[in-house]
Structure 1
Amino acid sequence: MTVLSMKGVVAGYGGGAVLQGVDLDCAERTVTCIVGPNGAGKSTVLRVISGLLRPSAGEISMDGEAIGGRAPDEVLRRGIAQVPQSHALFPAMSVHENILMGGYLIRKDRRLLRERLDMVRDRVPIVAERAGDSAGNLSGGQRRMVEIARCLMLDPRLILLDEPSLGLDPRSLAGVAALIQELNRAGTTVLLVEQNVRLGLGLATHGVVMEGGRVRLSDTAEKVRDHPEIASLYLGGTTAPSGSTRAPAG
């Protein structure tokens, strides 16, 4: 079942088209990773889905219902939550207060708010462990975990992650990767943009390669990762028939 669909989407800034006819589908309970060079339009895809950028052409739908051009709060109410690339927390506020901000749309339903908070604490232990600490005192990996946890307050069907590995040390990276996998196993569909191609495609079930504002390749993550051109450009070698990677000759 397709959760999100983009057909011929054109969008940009100041009259210039960054996305030039993007077609992209995310099936239910999948992890789709978008990779590509800087300026390919990867983050712009997330902005146009979340309502932060209005498309000038094309269609975007969630469960068959058109959402292209809708306001961000309407997109949120339909079950799509985005975790920005960085600086998404309020540093002077506590972890607990930041998490509650994620439940703003359900704030009037106190029972549901408590249930969601208990769920988030259970799934992301740092929310309870560091509840009273200022978000500004957290490490980069801890901040990323809290950013993801905050969007869970709305129990989204689709989570958009923009460069979740950015600036993280290997240990923090492993924790964030494990959280993404756990969310997906629990039924959440994930669409992420990632410069760390090896990590992103390793987490994903499906891969999308963008270049020049268009989708150049879309397939299972394994096939995208093993594509000779992708291996050469992003993984430091070409893919051998056996599936191993070797350095290019010469």
Structure 2
Amino acid sequence: MPRSSNVSEPAPATTVGATPGDWRQIEPTPLPVTLSAAKDAFHDRGFHGTSIRDIAARAGVSLPTLYYHHENKQGILVALLEAGMNSVLGRVRAAIADATTPTEQLSNAIEAIVLHMTADLELASVARELRYLDHDNPHRQHYVGMRTEVEDLLDDILRRGIASCDFHVDGDARELLRYLLGACQEVTTWYHPSGARSPAQVAASYAATSLRAVGAGPTTNV
């Protein structure tokens, strides 16, 4: 059976919530069956605790079929990492485009990130498995570049908000940004879909907290 050197079962080009007006959609990112199975397995058992056989069994496919689509387990991890980051980027870009002031843009961007975390908890949690991706894997830098783009989008909002006096930040704005993004990432460690708060409620709460952190007033969106 032929084996591709690249992941040949990529995430769809169209991601949930990737256009202004629909970035608040609460739906998981659509994935091929093998990636969906791997997503659930990595969430349940972690990358190292999951075998290729586990993924094939969950997907209901043979090992040769799985290897036809993915070179190895790292290739599957790459595909999931990129699918998750594409989802975040799509939501954040759309959320920012849906606002005009720095206050509204920051609120929307944080809300969009947390919506990704809560709407597709299993996919969002795969980001923690980046530590198992070989440092010389050519796809690692691409993923890190997408993650940096998200950081840069929010950094630009913070700097514009500080310059316009919409935000009042004491200290290093980049350090504050790392705090905000770190708090968003931690949602995957405690949020549960059957909990008391819905994805929309959690996202709105984090957006409001981010505005308080930068010394901005609330928006009509929160």
Question: What's the TM-score, normalizing by structure 2?
Answer: 0.31
Structure with bigger strand share is: 1
Question: Structure 1 or 2: larger helix share?
Answer: 2
